[in-house]
Amino acid sequence: VPIEILEEMNKIQETFQGLDQKYRLIDKIGEGTFSTVYKAEALMDDANYLIGEKIYSSPEIKRRKKAKTKPKIYVALKRIYVTSSPQRIFNELNLLYMLSGSKRVAPLLEALRFQDQIIAVLPYYHHADFREFFRDLPIQGIKHYMYELFQSLKFVHSKRIIHRDIKPTNFLYDPFTKRGVLVDFGLAEQESISIVYDKAQAGYCPCIHPSNKIITKHEDPLKGYPKNDDRPGRRANRAGTRGFRAPEVLFKCPYQRVDIDVWSAGVILLTLLSRRFPFFNSRDDTDALVELTSIFGLKELQEAALIHGLGLDTNLMTLTNVKKHSLGGLIHSAIKVEDEKNTLPKDSVAYDTLKAMNERGEIKHKPQDDHEIYILKKAHIEAFEVMSHCFKLNPEERSSANQILKLPFFDDFNQ
Ligand code: ADP
Ligand code: MG
């Protein structure tokens, strides 16, 4: 551990009254905009209360039962910066508290306060850095990862809680135990129950007030942005991470629902299948709309904007010429062509899986003839099906985490 971090941890141990009787800081494991996270050892004699079936996965419990000496209990201490408003801190702690009871969501063990400082105590989860495995995870591994992620979303969404920041660093996954745990409810919010759907016009989001006129005619995009724009401004929660925002977030729809997390999960799946991280790399929301348009098509994005009463135009020729295609179809046909030509790129999902099967002696014939290649292709087709459910531009049409878990891609777990 670098000296600066040791000094930083020492300072916390010394200044945060009562902390050093309970926990010993070991290392800094994360640093974000709103918090710093440390790995720590629980020192209390009764630290065993921190362990429970709900908290630690069963391999961990077995390991502890087998151990002859009293095993150490590790926790993650999330120190929330004093610059966060009390309301914000309360929101995160309260949601964590509401979400205890699932092994796929990190539960709040306790919260410590000294003066204006707050520390949330969570079980420590061993996990791998996403950057270390997203290139190599075979399709079966992708299946496990996504299954864990959708299970955690199913639980969170059953409480009508929107996580709002689904991305790899907030989902702690261990590729060896194949366990995943969702963390970081710093931006999460309860889905607003005041949405009045019956007021909405059929096919439109309730964010269009019935008295608002719906834009049907597109302005000439070459004229540029209107000088005296008399349309009312739009305000909506846009919290989240660029590249993972659902279209309705980009369109500033104030009636966002749990579906925005399903979109972000789709972006993670796309990242894993394409072996590109980050897949979307926009600097701002306009850039993000350009990225989505170049993949899903201008007409499709315009229709999606209209659902929220918005018009969408561009003078980028590269976007006006985009033809409609399915993202899954695109990746799949690329892999298929390579597979047929026997020139699969060495970093593709298909190549990894083929190689692994070969090494295990599971491929007896030329790959193209083998039944297992069929299975491999089948898994890919099923993964693209999952992706297409996540990437519905209209949130009304997007499947829930629960529905997605019932798709054929996850059949292995559902039997
Ligand atoms: P932030 O709001 O600053 O993003 P997070 O809750 O996402 O805070 O935590 C930041 C990082 O700390 C995570 O990406 C992860 O690497 C690590 N971390 C957080 N909670 C745990 C935990 N319970 N066990 C292990 N590592 C954790
Ligand atoms: Mg985070």
Query: What is the ipTM, given to two decimal places?
Result: 0.99
Q: What is the pLDDT of residue 245?
A: 96
- Which is the closest atom of ligand 1 to the Cα of 169? 14
Interval between CA 129 and ligand 1 midpoint (Å): 11
Q: Which residues of the chain have pLDDT under 50?
A: 53-55, 215-218, 334, 362-370, 372
Residue nearest to atom 4 of ligand 1 (CA): 32
- Nearest to residue 210, comparing CAs of 196, 192, 231? 196
- Which is the closest atom of ligand 1 to the Cα of 31? 3
Interval between CA 54 and ligand 2 midpoint (Å): 22
Residue nearest to atom 14 of ligand 1 (CA): 169
Ligand (nearest to CA of 165): 2
Q: Which of 165, 259, 339, 352 is catalytic?
A: 165
Query: What's the half-sphere exposure (Cβ side, CA atoms, 13 Å) at 303?
Result: 11
* Pairing relationship of beta strands 171-174 and 23-31 according to DSSP bridges: unpaired
Distance CA 271, CA 390 (A): 13
Interval between CA 346 and ligand 1 midpoint (Å): 32
412 contact partners, CB below 8 Å, separation of at least 6? 143
- Which is the closest atom of ligand 1 to the Cα of 35? 3
Residue 369 pairs in a beta bridge with none
Burial of 237 (0-12, 13-18, 19+ CB in 10 A): middle
Interval between CA 89 and ligand 2 midpoint (Å): 14
Distance CA 329, CA 327 (A): 5
Which residues form the pocket of ligand 1, taking CB atoms under 6 Å from any ligand atom? Answer: 29-30, 32, 34-35, 37, 76, 78, 106, 122-125, 169-170, 172, 183-184, 186
Give the containing element (helix H, strand E) for 30.
Answer: strand 23-31
Ligand (nearest to CA of 30): 1
Residue nearest to atom 7 of ligand 1 (CA): 184
Interval between CA 32 and ligand 1 midpoint (Å): 9
The b-or-e profile of 159-189 (16+ CB within 10 A means b, else e) is eebbbbbbbbebbbbbbeeebbbbbbbbbbb
Is 165 in the active site? yes
Kindly state the tokens that stand for 197: 């759907």
| Model confidence, pTM | 0.86
Helix, strand, coil in percent for the chain, rounding step 5:
45, 10, 45
Interval between CA 128 and ligand 1 midpoint (Å): 12
Distance CA 298, CA 296 (A): 7
- Which is the closest atom of ligand 1 to the Cα of 127? 25
Residue nearest to atom 15 of ligand 1 (CA): 30
Nearby residues for ligand 2 (ion, Cβ within 5 Å): 170, 184
Q: What is the pLDDT of residue 122?
A: 93
Q: What is the pLDDT of residue 325?
A: 56
